[in-house]
Amino acid sequence: MKVLIKNVLVIDPSSGFHNRKLDIGVGDGNIVEIADQISETGFDEIVSGENLCVSAGWVDGGVHYKDPGEEWLENLESLQAAALAGGVTTIVGFPNTHPTVQSKESLSYFKNFSKYNLVQFRNLGAVTKNTEGKDFTDMMDLHFSGAVGFSDGKNPIQSSDILLKTLQYLQPLGTILVNKSEDKYLSMFGQMHEGITSTMLGLKGIPSAAEEIMIMRDLKLLEYSGIKSDKPLLHFSTISTEESVNLIREAKKKGLPVSCDIAAHQLAFTDEALLDFDTNLKVFPPFRGKSDILALKEGLKDGTIDMIVSDHNPLDAEHKNVEFDVADFGVLGIQTLFSVINTYSELSIELIIEKITTSPRKLFGLEDAQIAVGQAANLTVFEVDKVFVFDEKDIKSASKNSPFVGKELKGAAVAVFNNGQFKKVG
């Protein structure tokens, strides 16, 4: 199939076409022509519209797979549909499936699905067996079988010895450790951010210190290891507090090989949004205060925060339509990843695209996606200024636990190209 993208603004600082409005011709999965104007003759599909932009295909570097093991919450087909609707062409998932992603066979399950599909599913391999924090998996075998990094996912590595040995083990492989920053003893039984609002609502709070203490520990262990690297070795997943940003900023200034990300929804809500006990707003880490959001935005602008993820975690009514203190943590996010960032972050479009394309590809060692003639077409076409109200009926996931239903968002994907395939989504 030959597809022509008409009059589209290229957002790709690494490309000589950056910030130019051009026509782009795609044929047989490759970019075959880029010019000021291309004749429509011979093309099977035309992608056109007002104020279109194009970038490398978007990457969501933090997704909670439910398949295999919990397919009623979301299977790979519904996850792909949600990703496509959100303009995402590559997903990096945590290993907390059933069975855990800790063998060649578990990696091949996702590889085989991706082989013939537009969205590519990539995996973080488990650090410890069943992500229980006790015995190591065969990380070298997983690495050479395609794992793009290692993590125990939703289970933070509580053992200092295991964390230190993991860093030492992974450094020669040139891959990355992704750790959730949580002291589980401090956060135990917590329902939301510890503060005035939690006190008013009578809910057990999760203190900022539960996150910050673990970041301090991990940074100290990284420094103690003496490991030097020109690329990040330790990555902090979904940080949420002002002090966390400050700690990582100082670590980077000292030259430690560290990186971090935030969940897009952390830019949209404070803990005060929970006054109505809406369980769709029950997330981990919890929504913090206004000063924390300001710090996250500043960290994105100055490069302290490398990546923005969805932290997509589908849950059904059994987990969400219950009393607040028994509801599970987690929200949908992959379908609204770009829209939420574009609506709430106050970042330039170039910086937004960096956080969901260039940075995750570098961190996880993914293939480059360049906008140049002769390159494979891994592209997302989108509208920056399109304003819409997100409706529950538009949700492509098998679950419906989105905090953005009924919210006005700005920016949406129009079409995606990847793996020799094309789909209009707008």
Length, in residues, of the chain: 426
Which of 346, 364, 382 corresponds to the end of one domain?
A: 364
Number of Cβ within a 10 Å radius of residue 311: 30
One domain for residues 127 and 191: yes
Q: Is residue 309 part of a domain?
A: yes
> What one-character DSSP code corresponds to residue 354?
I
The pLDDT value recorded for residue 14 is 83
User: From first to last of its 426 residues, what are the pLDDT tens digits of the chain?
Assistant: 899 999 999 999 888 899 999 999 999 999 999 999 999 999 999 999 989 999 999 999 999 999 999 999 999 999 999 999 999 999 999 999 999 999 999 999 999 999 999 999 999 999 999 999 999 999 999 999 999 999 999 999 999 999 999 999 999 999 999 999 999 999 999 999 999 999 999 999 999 999 999 999 999 999 999 999 999 999 999 999 999 999 999 999 999 999 999 999 999 999 999 999 999 999 999 999 999 999 999 999 999 999 999 999 999 999 999 999 999 999 999 999 999 999 999 999 999 999 999 999 999 999 999 999 999 999 999 999 999 999 999 999 999 999 999 999 999 999 999 999 999 997
Which of 329, 346, 364 corresponds to the end of one domain?
A: 364
Quote the domain boundaries for residue 19.
2-53+374-424
One domain for residues 380 and 355: no
Which of 338, 364, 390 corresponds to the end of one domain?
A: 364
135 assigned to active site: no
Strand residue runs (E) in 94-132:
120-126
User: What residue type is 384 in one-letter code?
Assistant: V
φ, ψ at 175 (rounded to 5°): -115, 180
User: What residue type is 154 in one-letter code?
Assistant: K
Does residue 212 contact residue 247 with C-beta atoms inside 8 Å?
yes
Among candidate residues 306, 311, 316, 394, the one labeled active-site is 311
Q: What is the CATH number of the domain that holds 267?
A: 3.20.20.140
One domain for residues 283 and 357: yes
Return d(Cα 370, Cα 374) in angstroms, integer.
Answer: 10
Query: SS3 of 200, please?
Result: helix
**Edge-to-edge order in the sheet of strand 234-237:** 58-63, 88-93, 120-126, 149-151, 177-180, 234-237, 258-263, 307-309
The pLDDT value recorded for residue 16 is 87
Token pair 């959100």 in the structure block, residue: 86
Q: Is residue 127 part of a domain?
A: yes
The pLDDT value recorded for residue 421 is 97
Does residue 54 contact residue 8 with C-beta atoms inside 8 Å?
yes
User: What residue type is 94 in one-letter code?
Assistant: F
CA angle, 328 then 330 then 336, to 5°:
155
φ, ψ at 27 (rounded to 5°): -145, 135
Return d(Cα 376, Cα 256) in angstroms, integer.
Answer: 35
Q: Is residue 369 part of a domain?
A: no
Distant-in-sequence, close-in-space partners of 422: CB < 8 Å, separation ≥ 6:
1, 3, 26, 45, 118, 377, 415, 416
pTM: 0.97
